[in-house]
Amino acid sequence: MQDRFDLIVLGAGSGGLAAAKRAASYGARVAIVEGDRVGGTCVIRGCVPKKLLVYGSAYRHLLADAPSYGWDVGDIRLDASRLLANVRAEVDRLNSLHIGFLEKAGVELVRGWGRFSGPSGVVVSAADGSERQLEAERILIAVGGRPQRPEIPGAELGWVSDDLFELESLPEAVVVVGAGFIACEFACILNGLGVQVTQLVRGDHLLRGFDREASRAVQESMEEAGIAIRFAHTPAAITGQCAPGEFTVTTQSGETIACGGVLLATGRRPMLQGLNLEAAGVAVEGIRIPVDADQRTNVPGIYAVGDVTDRINLTPVAVDEGRAFADTVYGSRPRQVDHSLVASAVFSQPELAGVGLTEEQAIERCGAEGIRVHRARFRPMSQALPATGPRVLLKLIVERSSGKVLGAHMVGEHAAEIIQMAAIAIGMGATKADFDRTMALHPSVAEEFVTMPN
């Protein structure tokens, strides 16, 4: 068993896996260090199991609408325990699959938690207490991030997003704390699974950073679905006992809310603890590891990708950063990741997705008179017979002087799928006239993007 490699990757998440396999494909000797399951946040406790729960929770609305399409489904009953168990089984399958991918790529998986022993050395501490010293010409830090709890009494009694995937059953009522995409997604999931949800939001709106009109549309739909959103509310303390699952959340105003669980979706931060970065001399800026456009830290031979750099914390970004690193260093194909135009989505119910500038960002850049906003809002055909459910919102933000589309945003079913295609056009510099010249595919929701009047 060798202990000297060309590359050591710390963390077998999206970015680390992509970098390790790509580097190995160029002939590098690669070790990847991981103390948890293989796949990282996205596969194990993030995007994948979350999206499966989104699908599961959506059946409540689909089944409720079925009679309008002639289907008599009878009594509807949810077995949440079965859903949660099935999701965990799929995560286990994916974990095994990724281990197999590493073996096929010729990457050695070193089990345990790694820490720097110097600028070219890593000590790996295994679960059995043994340690292994590894050396490499280059080291890539790809350890990702972890959820953060607010500093309030009883915070340890609350769940973070990781914990929800380990639940065996669901309580009758949950308090969700936060306004970001994780908070909103889980509020919708729990609501769809029949849980009474109260969401506490510190500010005055949801989904900061997304288009405000789009985020308001999501808020309206969440409230119509029965989620109680309380703005200008923060938790001051959580009391109760974990075993019985009976808690009380006390807000900053002294109000008390009884519930069976509390989800603290109050942000994430890079997982730097335990890395012993000082032994290698790696600089830290605030809570993150700063890197240049080629993913290099301040120490020659040490690089970082993904959430640990705290730039755009999305799985596809981490994957591309990892591959760009390997292409540049080992593949003689130097390239840098373009972070300037990255589409993003919130898998709330309904979905929100966007690419490019929001209306607020466009006004800040071009002035209110420098842009035109084209929008359409309507009930989708899928809801025509039940005559219920959220309305769709589509927006194009256009620069007046050039006609260039600066941003596209959508709230509604399949928003992420549609915006993914719009991202290609906007990345190529498409104008409103280019959208107008595109023949509509009828009847579809997406056709509204190419039929909006000038």
352-392 confidence digits (pLDDT tens): 999 999 999 999 999 999 999 999 999 999 999 999 989 99
CA atoms within 13 A on the CB side of 57: 24
Tell which CATH classification among 2.40.160.60, 3.50.50.60, 3.40.630.20, 3.20.190.10 matches the domain 4-146+270-330.
Answer: 3.50.50.60
Amino acid sitting at position 134? L
What DSSP string describes 76-124? Answer: ----HHHHHHHHHHHHHHHHHHHHHHHHHHTPEEEESEEEEEETTEEEE
Q: What is the pLDDT of residue 76?
A: 86
Q: What is the pLDDT of residue 454?
A: 86
Q: What is the pLDDT of residue 241?
A: 80
Q: What is the pLDDT of residue 74?
A: 87
- Going by the DSSP 8-state scheme, the letter that residue 296 receives in this structure is B
Q: Give me the mean pLDDT over the 30-47 stretch.
A: 96
92-101 confidence digits (pLDDT tens): 999 999 999 9
Amino acid sitting at position 194? G
Please identify, in words, the CATH class of the domain defined by 350-450: alpha beta
Q: What is the pLDDT of residue 67?
A: 95
8 Å CB contact between 46 and 53: no
Q: What is the pLDDT of residue 395?
A: 98
Q: Give me the mean pLDDT over the 61-65 stretch.
A: 93
198-220 confidence digits (pLDDT tens): 999 999 999 999 999 999 999 99
How high is the mean pLDDT of the chain?
96
Torsion of CA 29, 35, 41, 45, to 10 degrees: 140
Residue whose C-alpha is closest to residue 259's, from 194, 191, 324, 172: 172
d(CA 178, CA 266): 5
Q: In what order do the strands lie in the sheet with 228-231?
A: 228-231, 196-201, 173-177, 261-264
Is the pLDDT at 2 greater than 70, yes or no?
no
**For residue 164, what pLDDT band results from cuts at 50, 70 and 90?**
very high
8 Å CB contact between 247 and 157: yes
- Tell me which of 61, 98, 374, 442 is the catalytic residue: 442
Q: What percent of the chain has pLDDT over 90?
A: 97
d(CA 402, CA 398): 8
Query: 3-state DSSP call for residue 294?
Result: coil
At residue 350, φ and ψ (nearest 5 deg) are: -85, 165
Q: What is the pLDDT of residue 37?
A: 96
Q: Give me the mean pLDDT over the 116-130 stretch.
A: 96
d(CA 262, CA 157): 8
**For residue 81, what pLDDT band results from cuts at 50, 70 and 90?**
very high
Which residues are paired to 251 by β-bridges?
A: 235
| Residue 442 known to be catalytic | yes
14-25 confidence digits (pLDDT tens): 999 999 999 999
Q: What is the pLDDT of residue 1?
A: 52
- For the chain, the domains span 4-146+270-330, 155-266, 350-450
Amino acid sitting at position 226? G
CATH topology of domain 155-266: FAD/NAD(P)-binding domain (3.50.50)
Q: What is the pLDDT of residue 243?
A: 65
Q: What is the pLDDT of residue 160?
A: 96
In this structure, how many other beta carbons lie within 10 angstroms of the beta carbon of residue 316?
15
Fold equal for 155-266 and 350-450: no
Long-range contacts of 435-439 (CB under 8 A, 24+ apart): 435/396, 435/405
Q: What is the pLDDT of residue 62?
A: 94
Amino acid sitting at position 85? A
Q: What is the pLDDT of residue 177?
A: 98
